[in-house]
Structure 1
């Protein structure tokens, strides 16, 4: 069934990500990397914005951000227009880490789909994008 296969592919993807990033000297999860990517693309974004951009639960994104702050990769500041909100930016270490991770994460994408012939990978990605749609 589709759900079972998607779950197995997700497990494989997470395992490949963890192994490759660890081998490169990083301790980061796929969700943490996605958050870094969102913050890098939109400096000053708030936690809710990060959750929306990476399709992650708003109730638990705070823990992801807390871990990135604890690692010294992200900094929080009070939003000038809404004092209740916190804006996020990558620290200098965060920028350096993100830039060092980009080629690692790029390279591991092929490993995730290694069981597919190269000609089928683009088709798979296109179909996956269609299946996800506007979820």
Structure 2
């Protein structure tokens, strides 16, 4: 039986890309705060009072993952959960002073890491690359949560 050459298949390439990102993140940005945790902090620094579901949608994390990320950020004192007085089932989230401080520090490191990560590409290629990643990611998200039946 003939094997497939997976060197140009999106799945293995995405895995390699993610592994490289994780390596750069832990060496250049933070060993303590993960990339998903930073994404949540970033979302909350930009707009406080969001609920867990909204933050998860904005940063591309499923329900169980966002719950765990937020739990860890709360335990570490970077995020507060405040019960909505009008709806006791809803908790509004906000970055604490510590969360804002950590975000500010890591935002600078993240920018440097992204420059290095995308350095094999020319500036115009970087823009196209990110646009293409967004398009494929958005389409994949539609497969997970279709607004209308496929077929």
Is residue 2:145 matched to residue 1:125? no
Would you say 1:11 and 2:19 are equivalent positions? yes
With normalisation by structure 1, the TM-score equals: 0.89
- Does residue 93 (structure 1) correspond to residue 92 (structure 2)? The answer is no
1:112 is matched with: 117
Aligned residues: 132
Please state how far the C-alpha of 1:105 moved relative to its aligned partner: 0.7
CA distance in 1, matches of 2:42, 2:132: 23
1:29-40 alignment runs, 5 A limit: 29-40=34-45
Gaps of 5+ in 1: none
Give the Cα separation in 1 of the matches to 2:122 and 2:53. 38
Instruction: Report the equivalent of 1:45.
Output: 50
Matches within 5 A, 1:56-71: 56-71=61-76
Unaligned runs of 5+ in 2: 1-8, 142-151
Task: Give the TM-score, by structure 2 length.
Answer: 0.80
Displacement of 1:65 in angstroms is 0.6
Higher alpha-carbon deviation: 82-91 or 108-117: 108-117
C-alpha displacement of 1:114: 3.0
Deviation sequence 1:17-52 (CA, Å, 0-9, x none): 111123xxx610000000101111220111111111
**SS of the counterpart of 1:121?**
helix
